[in-house]
Structure 1
Amino acid sequence: MRSIVSMTLAACAIVVVNSPTLAQTPAPAPATPPAQPSAGGTPDAMPFDIPYGVSIGLDRAKQVLAAAEAEAKKRNWKMNIAVVDTNGELVHFARMEGAQIASGPISIGKARTAARFRRESRAFYNAYETGHGYVATLDPTLVASPGGFPLVEGGKVIGAVGCSGGTGDQDAAVCKVGADVVNSATH
C-alpha cells in the first residue's frame, strides 16, 4: 500500500511541477508608451494675440447680459450669465429664475477664462478632449467648458461673457448672442 501512495504522490508532484499555471514564464516585454499628443506645433504668429483695451463698463455689460438673457428666454433655457472686465473681475451677473445654483460660479469662471486667455473657453475644452491634460496646470480658476466668449471692441479685449446652466453647447449659443453685441459692432 505504501508503494501505491508513494507512486501516487510522485505522479501528482510531476503533474504539478509541469503544470503551465505554475511553470515560470518570462515576463512580457514592457509595452511601448503611447506617443504624447501634439502640443500644437510652432505657429509663425502668436495665437490669440489680441491686445487688451479699456475694461467694459457697467452700461455696456448690461447690454451684453440683456442680449444673452433674451436669447435664453427665447429658447426657454434657465441660465446664469456673467460679464467680466479684462482682468476677469465681475462687472454684471444675473441668475435667471430657476437656473441651477451651481452654475453661477461656473458662468463667472467661463467669462474669466475667456477674458484672461483672450479666447473662447471652448478652446480649453477641446484641448482636454484631445488629451492635452496640461491645461489643468495653467490656472486654478480656468474653466475648460464651452460658454465663455471674449468681448472684442476696436480690436481689443474689453472683457468677456460667460453662461452656464445648460449643456456646453446651450451655454455657448446663449453667450455668443451676448458677445455679438460687442464683437459684431467692431467688424
Structure 2
Amino acid sequence: MNPGNTPVLETGRLILRVSQACDFERFAEVLGSEEAARYIGGAQSRSAAWRRFLQMPGAWVVQGFGMFSVIEKSSGRWLGQAGPWKPDGWPGNEIGWTFHPDSWGRGYASEAAAAAMDWAFANLGWDDVIHCIDPANAASQALAQRLGSRNLGAVKLPAPYEDAPSDAWGQTRAEWSENRKRFA
C-alpha cells in the first residue's frame, strides 16, 4: 500500500516509506523504552506513542513530507524512522532519525539518512539540512559526522521540547553533494 502516492525509496538493504499501522508495535517499543527514547522526549505510554506515531503520516498529508518508516528488505521488519521533519517553530530543515535498539550499530541509520537527504534535496527545494541532537547523544553526533555534518551550535526547540538541550548539526546542499560520494 502506498497512501496518497507518497514516495518509496530503496537502498541496498532498506525500504523507506510512509508509516503504516503495521509499524506501530515496534514504534511503541521504541517510545516505551527509557533508553531508546531518552533523547526524543523520554519514554511514553502506549496511548501517547500512538498519538505521536500519527504525526508522521499526518505530516505527509499536510506538508507533503515527513519521516519515512525504515524497513529491512530481507525481513520486512520495521527498524526505525528517518527523514525530513519541520514542525512549526523548528529551527531549520531537519533530517532526523530514531531507530529500534535491536537495529543499532548496523549502519541502517546512516544508509537511511543518506537516502532521505538525497530525497529531501531533490524534492523539497531545501538548500541546507540540520539534525537537532542532544549534546549528550554521542551516537547521533557520530552519525551526523559520518554524513558530513558539523556542529553549528546550540538551538532552541519549540514546545514541548523547549527545555531539552539541542545542538544543530548540519550542512548545505553543496556540501552534501561532496559528502554523498562516501555513500556511493
- TM-score, normalization: structure 2? 0.26
- Say which one has the larger Rg: 1
Higher relative contact order (CA 8 A, sep 6+): 1
Structure-1-length-normalised TM-score: 0.25
- Higher strand residue share: 2
